Amino acid sequence: MKEIKLIKKAIKGNKKCLEELLVLHSDQLYRTAFLYVRNCEDALDVVQEASYKAFLSINQLKNENLFLTWLTRILINCCYDLLKRNKRETPIENMIEQVSVMREKRVESLDLLEAVNQLNENYKTVIILFYFQDLPINKVAKVMNIPENTVKTYLSRGKERLKKLLGGMEYNGEKII
Amino acid sequence: MEKKSFKEAYESINVPKEDVLKAIINGMNRATFNTPKPKKSFKIYVWSIGVAAAIFVASSFISPSISNVMAEVPILGKAYATFNDVIRRNLQSKSLITELNKTTSYKGIDVSITSAYYDGGVVGVTFKVKGDLRIQKDGRVVGFYEIFNGKEGISDSKELVYMEPTENDFIGQIQLSYPKTELPSNTTFPLEFKRIGDIEGSWRFDVPISQLPYETEKIDNQSIQGIAGVQVHFDSIITGKASTAINYTATFPNEGKHDQVRLEAYDDKGNEIAISNDGIDLETIKVNDKIIVKGRSIIPESLKGNTSYIEVHPKVALSQPNQFVSLYEPTPVEIKANRQNLSVKIENITVKDKSFTADFQVNKGDKRNRSFMFFKDFARNDVILVKESEKEIYKEPIKHSVETIDKDELRFRSTFDISELDDFNQSKYVLRVNIGSLSANIPVELEKVKINLD
């Protein structure tokens, strides 16, 4: 319940409370960003940008129960902004690394995180939210602003796609999908 | 169970806690005080589309499958110089190409030799092909030929050649270095096409060539590298109409019979002179415990009058045998190249139920002006867990991933998936370190040698 109190105070404009909330969820913010952008520097950039936007717009949050959903949506948008920006201008040394990473992907089997990263935007987001962030289907639907049934469809197609990417490989010895 | 694995993968992402907190506070401060976003460190940005292709080409030269070949021949200069035959163009402008018209027909395909030149140590031939040919998607026809009956020991004696379409037929060209120490003035050389398009057959020629006037200048310069036990003696220089050949004699210790000479040349203004065919082995003999190789390198231009001397920087790429580390050996273990200061230090070995991990450092972190990617490729391809009984056999490596632990110090971690090996056992497996792939790409440098041309 303490979190709900913090959220209420944050919505009313208490910056310390919002800071505390962000810190509380900082691991999740960073890890999710990392899943999208695949490197530490950019993931930190995304966390900063998402925090900035959270502070600017927290007063618009209507329902305190949707805090995490709201924050996650901001974060994912920031990830896509950064990915789009990087597509336009890519530092030359990164490109060399990317080419090499592409090659490595051919050489060895993909690990789970790499595979998730190769999914298209919608599948990737449902997989990240449902499996990694443990959000229930209805919350995933809220973050993505799509009907629950569509979430289910994306989930099953995303899993199908993942299976193909991983070639039925086992992860840590356990069948995962 | 499903979710658990995802969760584990998610939690395996390391969180740099302090940096994340800093990022949150920075975000908060920006919103509160309306301060601008701190700039990232300056980087050169490029527009991606065109450059991506270029870099892909460039980096494919260090790709794993090619890196072994790279070790054997310096492909790059050669490929481009052959494709764009500067010598021919140059001779053509001086009308020094002999026109020929010799045709051989087989299975409805006519192959005609149309011209030839023989300048210094270089021979060039053009030919055309007519008939019902299988054309590739790019509009060209590919053929396969042999020179000197495909004799082993002659470089490029069996090669593929691509023919370009013209109005009625396809034309192609071949350039080769005359593969003998002595250069006869009038001779023929055997050339046989064995496949044109998808048709196997035999289109055979004895191509007459007569050497254009040339000058030979004896030289007597020597360069030695003591630790590696190699020496290169420059014997003579042949100045043709449109090419220059440098003849040398290299001496290697017995273990270095596959060592390879690579030359770099500079003119009197310090500009690099392109060498199109480097390290052509003409003759190899064994005297006592030394290997003596007569070799030649070709510069595709006549240097007389353009520069008063050439400064040659000889390098020798040493051949090094594979080295092996027993999995029982206490770490750290240092693997050193025999005749050169190159090393791989295995710092730690961990064997778990389903994985084998080796932590190692390459070359004590000394990059020797090579790119990081070169070492990353080395880490991926040349430090490999192999079965002791098959340790010299090259086959697909056991599934593994390579992690960079310290980019500046060239520290890597390779994790091999041993869960699918039914016979894994520390006594049956060893770690193979292919130090030869470092030495082939980091040649030892010999003292520079100045060759006067006047």
Q: What is the pLDDT of residues A111-150, one digit of tens each?
A: 677 777 778 888 888 888 888 777 888 888 888 888 888 8
Give pTM, 2 decimals. Answer: 0.55
CATH number at residue B167: 2.60.40.1630
Residue where a domain stops, chosen among B191, B210, B229: B210
Question: Quick check: B412 pLDDT over 90?
Answer: yes
Question: Is there a domain that residue A104 lies in?
Answer: no
pLDDT at residue B34 in the model: 65
Nearest chain A CA: its distance from B91 CA (Å):
40
- Give the model confidence (pLDDT) of B368-393 as tens digits: 888 888 898 899 888 999 888 888 77
Across B96-105, b (16+ Cβ under 10 Å) vs e yields: bbeebeeebe
Q: A174 to chain B: which residues are within 8 Å by CB?
A: 1, 5
Q: Are B265 and B453 in contact (CB under 8 A)?
A: no
Going from the C-alpha of B38 to that of each of A88, A90, B35, B41, B305, the distances in angstroms are 20, 19, 9, 9, 58
Q: Which carries the bigger pLDDT value, residue B11 or residue B296?
A: B296
What pLDDT, on the 0 to 100 scale, is given for residue B40? 43
| Same domain membership, residue A68 and residue A11 | yes
Q: Determine the structural domain holding residue A47 and report its residue range.
A: 1-91
CB nearest B373 (choices: A96, A109, A171): A96
Q: In terms of domains, do B329 and B425 share one?
A: yes
What is the residue-wise DSSP string for B196-218?
ETTEEEEEEEEEEEEPPP-EEEE
Give the mean model confidence (pLDDT) for residues B41-49: 36
- Whole-angstrom Cα distance, residue B48 to residue B25? 33
CB-closest option in A40, A96, A131 to B55 = A96
Q: Are both B346 and B293 inside the same structural domain?
A: no
Same domain, A15 and A48: yes
Residue B273 lies in a domain: yes
Nearest by CB to residue A31, choosing from B15, B45, B376, is B15
Residues A79 and A115 in one domain: no
Q: Which of residues 49-108 of A touch B (CB under 8 A)?
A: 49-56, 87-93, 95-97, 99-100, 103-104, 107-108
Which of A172, A174, A175, A177 should we substitute to test contact with B (largest number of B Cβ atoms within 10 Å)? A172
Q: Do A104 and B2 touch (CB under 8 A)?
A: no
Looking at the structure, do residues B189 and B224 belong to the same domain, yes or no? Answer: no
**pLDDT band for position A98 (cuts 50, 70, 90):** low
pLDDT at A45: 92
CA gap B222, B250 in Å, rounded: 10
pLDDT at B49: 39
Alpha-carbon gap, residue B351 to B426, rounded angstroms: 8
* pLDDT given at position A92: 55
* Residues B173 and B234 placed together within one structural domain of the fold: no
Whole-number Å distance between alpha carbons of B322 and A55:
59
Task: Supply the pLDDT for residue B4.
Answer: 63
Rounded distance between C-alpha atoms, residue B353 and residue B419, angstroms? 7
pLDDT at A96: 54
Domain annotation covers residue B334: yes
Structure tokens given for B396: 């697909």
Region of poorest pLDDT, from A23-37, B388-402, B424-438: B388-402
Name which of A44, A87, A89 is nearest B19 (Cβ-Cβ): A44
Among A64, A91, A118, residue at a domain's last position: A91
* A23, A34, A48: residue with CB nearest B13: A34
Residue B59 has pLDDT above 60, yes or no: no
> Of B116, B102, B339, B109, whose CA–CA distance to B210 is shortest?
B116
Given B188, B210, B232, which residue is the final one in a domain?
Answer: B210
State residue B3's pLDDT score: 61
| Least confidently predicted of A58-72, B50-64, B180-194 | B50-64
| Residue of chain B whose Cα is closest to the Cα of A135 | B3
Element (H, E) at B433: strand B429-433
The answer to whether the beta carbons of residues A47 and B20 sit under 8 Å apart is yes
Residue B41 inside a domain? The answer is no
Taking 80 as the threshold, does the pLDDT of residue A166 lie above it? no
When pLDDT is cut at 50, 70 and 90, the band that residue B61 belongs to is: very low
B347 pLDDT band, cuts 50/70/90, is: very high
pLDDT reading at B271 higher than 80: yes
How many domains does chain B contain in total?
3
What is the full DSSP assignment across B237-295? EEE-SS-EEEEEEEEEEGGGTT-EEEEEEE-TTSPEEP-SEEEEEEEEEEETTEEEEEE
Query: Phi and psi for B142 in degrees, rounded to 5?
Result: -105, 140
At residue A133, φ and ψ (nearest 5 deg) are -95, -5
Nearest to A7 by CA among A71, A73, A72: A71
Whether B128 has a pLDDT exceeding 80, the answer reads yes
CA distance A55 to chain B (A): 6
pLDDT at B301: 85
The mean of the pLDDT values for chain B is 81
Position A176 in a domain: no
Q: What is the pLDDT of residue B388?
A: 85
Same domain, B233 and B309: yes
Tell whether the model's pLDDT for residue B356 goes beyond 70: yes
**Same structural domain, B297 and B163:** no
- Chain B contact for A126 (CB, 8 A cutoff): no
Bigger pLDDT: A151 or A1?
A: A151
Asked whether the beta carbons of residue A90 and residue B48 sit closer than 8 angstroms, the reply is yes
Convert the pLDDT of each residue in B193-248 to its tens digit: 999 988 889 999 999 998 888 888 888 888 888 777 899 999 999 998 889 999 99
pLDDT tens by residue, B288-310: 889 999 999 999 888 888 899 99
**String of b and e for B123-132 (b: at least 16 CB within 10 Å)?**
bbbbbbbebe
Burial annotation B398-413 (CB, 10 A radius, 16+ → b, else e): bbbbbeeeeeeebbbb
> What is the percent of chain B with per-residue pLDDT over 70, rounded to a whole number?
87
**End-to-end Cα spacing for chain B:** 81
Phi, psi of A51 (to 5 degrees): -60, -45
Q: Confidence class of residue B82 from pLDDT cuts 50, 70 and 90?
A: very low
Same domain, B303 and B448: yes
Query: What average pLDDT score do residues B343-371 get?
Result: 90
How many residue pairs bridge chain A and chain B with CB atoms within 8 Å of each other? 158
Q: What is the CATH number of the domain that holds A132?
A: 1.10.10.10
Give the pLDDT score at B229: 86
Q: What is the mean pLDDT of residues B237-265?
A: 89
| Residue that is last in its domain, among B210, B229, B262 | B210
Query: Would you tell me how many other CB atoms lie within 10 Å of the CB of residue B232?
Result: 25
Mean pLDDT on B93-109: 86
Domain range enclosing B281: 215-319+442-452
Quote ipTM for the complex: 0.75
Answer whether residue A50 shows pLDDT above 90. Answer: yes
- Report the alpha-carbon distance of residue B194 to residue B67 in Å, rounded: 29
CA A127/CA A162 separation, integer angstroms: 10
Looking at the structure, tell me whether residues A17 and A63 fall in a common domain.
Answer: yes
The more confidently predicted of residues B255 and A88 is: B255
Within B367-443, where are the H helices?
A: 372-382, 436-441
CATH code, domain carrying A20: 1.10.1740.10
Beta strands in A59-115 (DSSP E): 89-91
Token pair of B364 as six digits: 């004590």
